[in-house]
Amino acid sequence: MVYINFIWHMHQPYYRDNLTGKTKMPWVFLHAIKDYYDMPYLLSQNPNIKATFNLVPSLIEQLNHYINNDANDELLDILTKDVSTLKDEQLEFLNSYLFTPNEKNMINIFWRYKELNTKFKSSQKGLKIFDESEIEDAQVLFLLSWCGNYLKKNNKTIKNLITQGANYNHTQKLSLINELIKFLPEILKLYKKLAKKGQIELSTTPYYHPILPLLLDINSAKTANANTNLPNIDPQTFKEFGKSQITKAIELFEQTFDFKPTGFWPAEGSVSEATIKMISKHDIKWIATDEEVLYKSIKNHTKEKLYNLYQHKEYNTYMFFRDRHISDLIGFEYSKLAPQIATLDFIDKIKNIQLHGNKDYLVSVILDGENAWEFYENNGEEFFNKLYKTLEENNSFIKTILPSEAKDLKLEKISIDYIHPGSWINANFDIWIGKPQKNKAWELLALTKEDYIKSASTLNNKTNQKILEEFAIALGSDWFWWYDDDHFTTLKPFFDNLFRLHLQNIYTLMGQNIPQQIIHPIVPENEVILAKFGAMHQANEIKSKESEFRYCKLTKRWVLFAPKRADRPNNFIKKKVIADDCICPFDAGNENLTPKEILRIGDSKNWRARVVPNLYNVLSIDIEPEGKKDDYFDVFSGFGAHEVIIETPKHGLEMFDYSLQEFVDYLQIAKDRLSSLKLDTRLNYASLFKNHGSLAGASLSHSHSQIIALPFVPTDVADEIDYKKEYYKKYKRAILDDLVYEEKQYEENLIFENESFVCYAPYASRFPYEVKIVAKDEYSCITEFDETTLINLAKSLELIFKKYKNVLDYFSFNMLFKNHPYEGHNEKSKDYFRFYVNIFPRLSGIAGFELDSKVYLNSILPSVAASRLKEV
């Protein structure tokens, strides 16, 4: 038997400004009328199926504000006004919301809404080009698009408005809003009813959804990922807020449902030993987190280990670890498939688990309970009806259970004595700490607390309680989620404003002036524009002519013009440069001949690898990414980074003779630089490459590599990403995984493999003796590598270059490290993009045919090359 433990996480951050009593963003209300009722209602139509719903306290509190008619939602306030009275700033506010619903599944299903959306997208002036009747229609249709299936089928007012289709009036709009508000009390009643019946279990989260391990000890971020850069604050600055967020959450839960919770979904599945210890003191029987946390805790990545029942040895807390792949299929992929196909795939995945052996298994499927369904047709209704019905039909080997029932099943119960700190994203906390904007937010919180401590004794108890509440709200995870480049939304400045508003409220309550660094936005004013459209769309005059990009829309290609590059050592020189006849700036002892050093491995006297700016740089990080465009050509400044990795202090040493440690140093310093450059949100792509020898374009014989980072993703790279995404969308596998599989089946082209990498001569090699080294695990970028993986890549490079030397002696080559672009790089990148290294021996030149046709001529079959390289 396979037992399925569904946990649907229902969460919204706290959008309310407690000082003014206004709700600044409408997402609690909108998801309430679309998801928070529909999800348990759909389950209730299948009484033999069980699931758990995790309700975050900040969500429950905000629901109660709407129910009690004191939410003062700023969007609803504007929607209740007569369109003829709206001011420009109110129209601008509506611009941020009215056309944000999913276009395919929420807008286009209403013919009038689709028509208005087309008009909205075609103008840069937003609602200012709409007449009053169009704005009225847009407002009503916006609300109707957010109505869930239960409301659309059972509420007479909503059914009539949908049938009407257009030409709504103000009275109808007010009637619709009133109906929606009246509906809200039914939501929590339904959860309570189903919990009493035993069909669902209810759990909760620390009150304002903080990353609890970071509150208890910020150093847990460093334990989770040694490469995380911590903010400059005391590690236990916010420890006191951990306990209060747990106790307050349990109190609200009991007030709402008349019983205490037995389970916790810590915010973002974030756990640590200290977290479990604190939660267990409140009679919490179980908590849930991610599979990667389990693997790191038990130091074993065997998938079968995931399907046991774990109990913490010291605290007796049961631990449920989500099956990431299956959960993410529901969250991100099944919406693209027909419900029947998606359901069959789900059942097939469960069957494959049962094939592991002759025992019972536990599969925890855990994901957000509100965010995915707008990507499904009809808000996921057909998918869930099909899924739940199919689960019932297959009850001979599949059964849904509640977490509290797991202990009574005949599951293999395993005691676990240590939990690795981490979340459900990469088993670390890097989404919430470690990057510049995130760390600045933490540092502003610490600054505010320092100022508060100085004044606390002078304030009355009521004011102190209000201030502590503002701190608790500001410690919620969602503010940090949107900082830096991990996630994108056009509403990013709204979240930044809300975070800083809570800090500003603290100073207001203390009666003090608000520090300028808290008034000043953390998110730059132009960041959303740059992130969404790219720097080339900023139509300003170029200030620097040292270099510039030019784009022709006829050929769809960029060209980088770099006049300064004409001065480099080998420009227009046909004969081989004899570097030994001149002083080499890369040699040990000549450090003063290079630009100011960026990074080094080793001490000041005995360095092993260095990074410096390229003296003959094609790009500059010190100029503004500005440009202009016309109907045929775009042009913008040569903004970017151009750096040199000096791989060794030894002038005559070539990569063919590197030791393992020299390869490790080389990869480590490259990884560090790529990680650092990614922190500059203006950069979207970084190319790491090595040109060795004159035929490969190297201008100095001293072994070195280069990094060029661009403010855009080149056309060919973007096309490659799109193709890989489409392949994954169709086959649910990364194309490079499939190619490696085929090469390994073919065998003739395989050269070697180790724990982390496989090396082969590609079936359609462009160059003689070309090889590809591909990551076997789900890595999309070298910046994701752990120490073991990095060492295994170093071993792979050491081995292939020894083989090259034995077969070909010394020769010119180009080596390219294929990392996912910074733009769009996230946890999902690992699904479709696999890190790899290409080595192209330059044993002959490229002639006119290759340049014209992009068809390469290769005189050596890859099977022959692989055979010769394998032999040595």
The tens digit of pLDDT for each residue in 666-719 reads 999 999 999 999 999 899 999 999 999 888 888 788 999 999 999 999 988 998
For residues 505-533, give the mean pLDDT. 78
The segment with the largest mean pLDDT, out of 417-421, 520-524, 600-604, 740-744, is 417-421
Could you state, in order of their start, the residue ranges of all structural domains in the chain? Answer: 194-416, 436-523, 526-712, 713-872
* pLDDT band per the 50, 70, 90 thresholds, residue 322: very high
For residues 38-48, give the mean pLDDT. 97
Instruction: Give me the pLDDT at residue 56, please.
Output: 98
- Kindly give the residue spans of alpha helices, DSSP state H, lying in 355-457: 381-393, 436-455
What whole-number distance in Å separates Cα of residue 374 and Cα of residue 104?
9
228 SS3 class? coil
* pLDDT band per the 50, 70, 90 thresholds, residue 499: very high
What whole-number distance in Å separates Cα of residue 12 and Cα of residue 137?
28
**pLDDT exceeds 80 at position 754:** yes
For residues 573-588, give the mean pLDDT. 59
Instruction: Give me the pLDDT at residue 700, please.
Output: 84
pLDDT digits (tens, 9 = 90+) for 367-392: 999 999 999 999 999 999 999 999 99
One-letter identity of residue 650: K
First to last CA, the chain: 51
What whole-number distance in Å separates Cα of residue 834 and Cα of residue 727?
13
Instruction: Give me the pLDDT at residue 16, please.
Output: 97
**pLDDT exceeds 60 at position 550:** no
Instruction: Give me the pLDDT at residue 570, please.
Output: 41
Instruction: Give me the pLDDT at residue 129, please.
Output: 95
| 772 DSSP 8-state letter | E
Are 707 and 687 a contacting pair, CB within 8 Å?
A: yes
Do 194-416 and 713-872 come out as alike in CATH topology? Answer: no
Q: Identify the burial level of 315 via C-beta atoms within 10 angstroms of its C-beta, where 0-12 means exposed, 13-18 middle and 19 or more buried.
A: middle
Domain 194-416 belongs in CATH node 3.30.70.890:
no
Are 375 and 333 a contacting pair, CB within 8 Å?
A: no
For residues 857-865, give the mean pLDDT. 81
Instruction: Give me the pLDDT at residue 458, please.
Output: 96
SS3 annotation, 495-524: HHHHHHHHHHHHHHHHCCCCCHHHHCCCCC
| 830 DSSP 8-state letter | H
> Could you tell me the CA-to-CA distances from 845 to 559, 696, 699, 813, 836 in Å, in that order?
22, 9, 17, 11, 24
> Could you tell me the CA-to-CA distances from 703 to 656, 692, 706, 818, 825 in Å, in that order?
10, 7, 11, 20, 30
Query: Which is nearest to 612 in space by CA: 649, 659, 572?
Result: 649
Instruction: Give me the pLDDT at residue 738, please.
Output: 84
For residues 846-869, give the mean pLDDT. 76
Domain 713-872 belongs in CATH node 3.30.428.10:
yes
pLDDT digits (tens, 9 = 90+) for 440-496: 999 999 999 999 999 999 999 999 999 999 999 999 999 999 999 888 888 888 999
What whole-number distance in Å separates Cα of residue 792 and Cα of residue 557?
37
| 625 DSSP 8-state letter | -
| Residue reference for tokens 């969007």 | 75
The chain-wide mean pLDDT, for the chain, equals 90
What whole-number distance in Å separates Cα of residue 55 and Cα of residue 209?
11
DSSP 643-688: EEEE--S-TT--GGG--HHHHHHHHHHHHHHHHHHHTSTT--EEEE
Task: Pick the more confident residue, 236 or 527.
Answer: 236
**pLDDT exceeds 50 at position 872:** yes
Instruction: Give me the pLDDT at residue 810, please.
Output: 87
Give the Cα-Cα-Cα angle 561, 839, 787 (nearest 5 degrees).
105
Instruction: Give me the pLDDT at residue 531, please.
Output: 38
Task: Pick the more confident residue, 605 or 807.
Answer: 807
CATH number of 526-712: 3.30.428.10
**pLDDT exceeds 70 at position 545:** no
For residues 167-196, give the mean pLDDT. 98
> Could you tell me the CA-to-CA distances from 6 to 347, 365, 369 in Å, in that order?
14, 5, 10
**pLDDT exceeds 90 at position 547:** no
Instruction: Give me the pLDDT at residue 637, please.
Output: 83
Task: Pick the more confident residue, 570 or 585.
Answer: 585
As given in the structure block, the two tokens for residue 247 are 């106790």
For residues 596-614, give the mean pLDDT. 91
pLDDT digits (tens, 9 = 90+) for 71-110: 999 999 999 999 999 999 999 999 999 999 999 999 999 9
- CA-based torsion, 302, 304, 305, 306: positive or negative: positive
**pLDDT exceeds 80 at position 44:** yes
Helical pair 492-510 and 461-474, crossing angle rounded to 10 deg: 160
| Residue reference for tokens 């950069």 | 683
- CA-based torsion, 650, 784, 493, 14: positive or negative: negative
**pLDDT exceeds 80 at position 834:** yes
pLDDT digits (tens, 9 = 90+) for 621-671: 888 777 776 666 677 788 899 999 999 999 989 999 999 999 999 999 999
Instruction: Give me the pLDDT at residue 560, please.
Output: 57
For residues 540-550, give the mean pLDDT. 45
**pLDDT exceeds 90 at position 363:** yes
Instruction: Give me the pLDDT at residue 576, please.
Output: 37
Strand partners of residue 609:
601
The residues, any chain, with a CB within 8 Å of residue 796's CB and separated by 6 or more, are 752, 754, 756, 757, 759, 773, 837
Instruction: Give me the pLDDT at residue 554, please.
Output: 37
Query: Which is nearest to 776 in space by CA: 794, 754, 799?
Result: 754
Are 760 and 772 a contacting pair, CB within 8 Å?
A: yes
DSSP 551-603: EETTTTEEEEE-GGGGGSTTTT--SPP-GGGS--TTSTT-GGGSSPP-EEEE-
Instruction: Give me the pLDDT at residue 603, please.
Output: 84
What whole-number distance in Å separates Cα of residue 387 and Cα of residue 335?
13
What whole-number distance in Å separates Cα of residue 61 and Cα of residue 70?
11
What whole-number distance in Å separates Cα of residue 789 and Cα of residue 129?
56
Instruction: Give me the pLDDT at residue 581, please.
Output: 52
Cα dihedral angle (388, 393, 395, 398), rounded to 10 degrees?
Answer: -60
Instruction: Give me the pLDDT at residue 539, please.
Output: 30
Q: Identify the burial level of 798 via C-beta atoms within 10 angstroms of its C-beta, where 0-12 means exposed, 13-18 middle and 19 or more buried.
A: buried
What whole-number distance in Å separates Cα of residue 541 and Cα of residue 460?
56
